[in-house]
Amino acid sequence: MARESESGLPIEPVYGPGALEGWDPGEKLGEPGSYPFTRGVYPTMYTTRPWTMRQYAGFGTAAESNARYRDLIAHGTTGLSVAFDLPTQMGHDSDAPIAHGEVGKVGVAIDSVEDMRVLFAGIPLDQVSTSMTINAPAALLLLLYQLVAEEQGAGARQLTGTIQNDVLKEYIARGTYIFPPKPSLRLTADIFKYCRSEMPRWNTISISGYHMAEAGASPAQEIAFTLADGIEYVRTAVAAGMEVDDFAPRLSFFFVARTTLLEEVAKFRAARRIWARVMREEFGARNPKSMMLRFHTQTAGVQLTAQQPEVNLVRVAVQGLAAVLGGTQSLHTNSFDEAIALPTDKSARLALRTQQVLAYETDVTATVDPFAGSYVVESMTDELEAAIVELMGKVEDLGGAVNAIERGFQKSEIERNAYRIAQQTDSGERVVVGVNRFQLDEEEPYEPLRVDPAIEARQAERLARLRAERDQRAVDGALTALQKAAEGEDNVLYPMKEALKARATVGEVCNALREVWGTYEPSDVF
Residue range(s) occupied by CATH 3.20.20.240 in the chain: 35-427
Tell me the pLDDT tens digit for each residue of 388-424: 999 999 999 999 999 999 999 999 999 999 999 999 9
User: Does position 452 have pLDDT exceeding 90, yes or no?
Assistant: no
Distance CA 414, CA 216 (A): 6
What are all long-range contacts of 403-408, with beta carbons under 8 Å and residues at least 24 apart? 404/228, 405/168, 405/171, 405/172, 405/181, 406/181, 406/523, 406/525, 407/523, 407/525, 407/526, 408/523, 408/524, 408/525, 408/526
Distance CA 183, CA 189 (A): 10
pLDDT at 62: 95
Q: What is the mean pLDDT of residues 134-146?
A: 98
Sheet with 251-257, side-by-side order of all strands: 202-203, 160-163, 129-133, 79-83, 52-57, 330-332, 295-299, 251-257, 205-208
Tell me the pLDDT tens digit for each residue of 266-279: 999 999 999 999 99
**CA 511: distance to chain centroid?**
25
| Percentage above 70 pLDDT, the chain | 99
Beta pairing partners, 79: 54
Distance CA 40, CA 48 (A): 14
Q: How far is CA 187 from CA 184, 205, 464, 507, in A?
A: 5, 12, 29, 17
Quick one: angle between helices 62-74 and 345-360, nearest 10?
Answer: 30
Q: What is the mean pLDDT of residues 90-96?
A: 98
Q: What is the pTM of this model?
A: 0.93
Contacts of residue 186, defined as CB under 8 A and 6 or more positions apart, other chains included, come to 236, 240
**Residue 451 — pLDDT band, cuts 50, 70, 90?**
confident
User: Does position 1 have pLDDT exceeding 80, yes or no?
Assistant: no
Residue 374's φ and ψ, nearest 5 degrees, are -65, 130
Residue 497's φ and ψ, nearest 5 degrees, are -65, -40
Other Cβ atoms closer than 10 A to 110: 33
**Residue 247 — pLDDT band, cuts 50, 70, 90?**
very high
**In this structure, what DSSP letter does residue 399 have?**
T
Distance CA 248, CA 283 (A): 10
Q: Are 83 and 134 in contact (CB under 8 A)?
A: no
pLDDT at 526: 52
User: Does position 194 have pLDDT exceeding 60, yes or no?
Assistant: yes
Please spell the DSSP secondary structure of 218-252, one letter per residue: -HHHHHHHHHHHHHHHHHHHHHTT--HHHHGGGEE
State the chain's mean pLDDT as an integer. Answer: 95
| Percentage above 90 pLDDT, the chain | 88
Q: How far is CA 158 from CA 16, 191, 195, 200, in A?
A: 50, 17, 12, 8
Beta pairing partners, 296: 254, 330
Instruction: Classify the phi-psi angles of 100: left when phi > 0, otherwise alpha if psi is within -120 to 50, otherwise beta.
Output: beta
Distance CA 48, CA 445 (A): 43
Q: Are 45 and 369 in contact (CB under 8 A)?
A: yes
Tell me the pLDDT tens digit for each residue of 110-137: 999 999 999 999 999 999 999 999 999 9
Distance CA 255, CA 260 (A): 14
Tell me the pLDDT tens digit for each residue of 31-44: 999 999 999 999 99
User: Does position 524 have pLDDT exceeding 70, yes or no?
Assistant: no
Q: What is the mean pLDDT of residues 19-46?
A: 93
Q: What is the mean pLDDT of residues 197-203?
A: 96
pLDDT at 137: 98
Provide the CATH topology of domain 35-427: TIM Barrel (3.20.20)
Q: Are 291 and 272 in contact (CB under 8 A)?
A: no
Tell me the pLDDT tens digit for each residue of 307-343: 999 999 999 999 999 999 999 999 999 999 999 988 8
